[in-house]
Amino acid sequence: PFKDGVFGTNRSQFFGGYNTSKLSLALALRNPEALSIAKRLIEWADVVLESFTPGTIGAMGLGWDVVHELNPKAIMVSSCLMGQTGPAAPLAGYGNHAAAISGFYEITGWPDRDPGGPFAAYTDTVAPHFLASTLMAALDHRRRTGEGQYIEQAQMESAVYFLGTELLDYQVSGRIPRRAGNEEPGCAPHDAFPCAGEDEWCAIAVETDEQWRALCEVMGSPAWAKDPALQNAEGRYAAREMLFERLAEWTGGYDPHELMAKLQSAGVPSGAVQRSSDLLQDPQLAHRRFFRPLPHCEMGEVPYEGHMFRIRGYDNGPRFAAPGLGEHSVQVLQEVLGLSDEEAGEVLASGAIA
């Protein structure tokens, strides 16, 4: 999404959300002076991370052999869709493509519709969590031995981890998983139900007989819900389409948050379906100070996601807004690499800064 719907290189909050507390140096790496600056950064760095198509960084003259020679203690990470080797290695693309190849699109959505796929560039968002722990292990290894490491990650391999249940089911039973909407085998009602207002919904997931009885009580124990066939999970699952229609008639008279509170207080798993704009007003997230408003160089003050955890005695979170492209180029040249005003000026004059 672009701030105020205005397109611009520095106006994407998708980029912004993942790049807080970072400095931006923009190098035109076809320029020899820019390549020299990149090598000086490698000599300074603890970690060198790249996510080009395999072979690209090496063709630039910044592959692992060069990195290791410049800085034997550096840890280099190469992350791409399919890995650095193998027949699919040259595939260039985005996390959406790797998610499709991994199998997520085939099982996400409804059986009578085209594949829906998970939200956003899925493998781009899940793969770094594996990489973070691997990187910490490499840093610990360096602390103990003084040795650098080369780590290469295939986003596809990291993402397939989250299909473990489906893979095991296929290996054991031969069943091929398909799109099933909001269904959960053996559970009903288990869906998002329409509420009062335009495109307002509340998710309800009944997994036990006790939860079913609690739901019936909240609904006022309607006659149709007393059907003996609905008193066990097998019967409710068989009647899931009828249950959806009956519940939709009832939920349609409620505000989703009102309904959520009513059901949760009775022990029925439920949740209002919220948009991104709703999250900015969510009282729980506000209490936790999850969103942090920070001033951006072009967009002004915008909210950034905080950390997904709290540390006692430490106000952790993003320190400053995501950078504009090349916003800190001069700062990095002088404060990180120690260039003088004259030297930094020569770099700028050479066209090395994009």
Q: Beta strand pairing status for 190-194 and 149-154?
A: unpaired
Q: What is the DSSP string of 270-319?
A: EEE---HHHHTT-HHHHHTT-EEEEEETTTEEEEEE--SS-BTTB--S--
Q: How many CB atoms lie within 10 A of CB 288?
A: 12
Q: By the 8 A CB rule, do 141 and 147 touch?
A: yes
Give, in words, the CATH class of 45-180: alpha beta
Mean pLDDT to the nearest integer, 217-226: 97
Backbone angles phi, psi at 5, to 5 degrees: 70, 15
Q: What is the pLDDT of residue 342?
A: 96
Mean pLDDT to the nearest integer, 161-170: 93
Give the predicted TM-score (pTM) of the model. 0.86
Please write the tens of the pLDDT for every residue from 279-336: 999 999 999 999 999 999 999 999 999 998 999 999 889 999 999 999 999 999 999 9
Burial of 123 (0-12, 13-18, 19+ CB in 10 A): buried
Q: Based on DSSP, count helices (H) and strands (E) in the chain, helices before strands.
A: 17, 8
Please write the tens of the pLDDT for every residue from 2-60: 999 999 999 999 899 999 999 999 999 999 999 999 999 999 999 999 999 999 999 99
Cβ-count burial 70-83 (b if 16+ within 10 Å, e if not): bbeebbbbbbbbbb
Secondary structure element (H or E) that encloses residue 184, with its range:
none
Share of the chain above pLDDT 90, in %: 93
| CATH 3.30.1540.10 placement within the chain | 190-273
Query: HSE-up of 153 (CA within 13 Å, CB side)?
Result: 25
Nearest to 243 by CA among 198, 193, 208: 193
CA–CA distance, 20 with 320 (Å, rounded to integer)? 6
Q: What is the DSSP string of 85-109?
A: SSTTTT----HHHHHHHHTHHHHSS
Give, in words, the CATH class of 190-273: alpha beta
Q: By the 8 A CB rule, do 251 and 189 touch?
A: no
Q: What is the pLDDT of residue 296?
A: 97
Mean pLDDT to the nearest integer, 229-255: 97
Q: What is the pLDDT of residue 268?
A: 98
Please write the tens of the pLDDT for every residue from 83-134: 999 999 999 999 999 999 999 999 999 999 999 889 888 999 899 999 999 9
DSSP letter at 187?
B
Q: What is the pLDDT of residue 120?
A: 83
Nearest to 182 by CA among 99, 116, 120, 260: 116
Q: By the 8 A CB rule, do 304 and 322 touch?
A: yes
Q: What is the pLDDT of residue 1?
A: 78
CA–CA distance, 72 with 48 (Å, rounded to integer)? 12
Please write the tens of the pLDDT for every residue from 143-163: 999 999 999 999 999 999 999
Nearest to 55 by CA among 89, 12, 16: 89
Beta bridge partners of 109: none
Nearby residues of 324 by Cβ (< 8 Å), 6 or more positions away: 9, 10, 24, 296, 297, 298
| CATH 3.40.50.10540 placement within the chain | 45-180
Please write the tens of the pLDDT for every residue from 59-78: 999 999 999 999 999 999 99
Beta bridge partners of 248: none
Q: Coil, strand, or helix at residue 142? A: helix
Q: How many CB atoms lie within 10 A of CB 171?
A: 9
Q: What is the pLDDT of residue 119?
A: 84
Nearby residues of 290 by Cβ (< 8 Å), 6 or more positions away: 305, 306
Strand order, beta sheet including 149-154: 47-50, 75-80, 149-154
Q: What is the pLDDT of residue 157?
A: 94
Q: How far is CA 311 from CA 17, 219, 288, in A?
A: 21, 42, 12
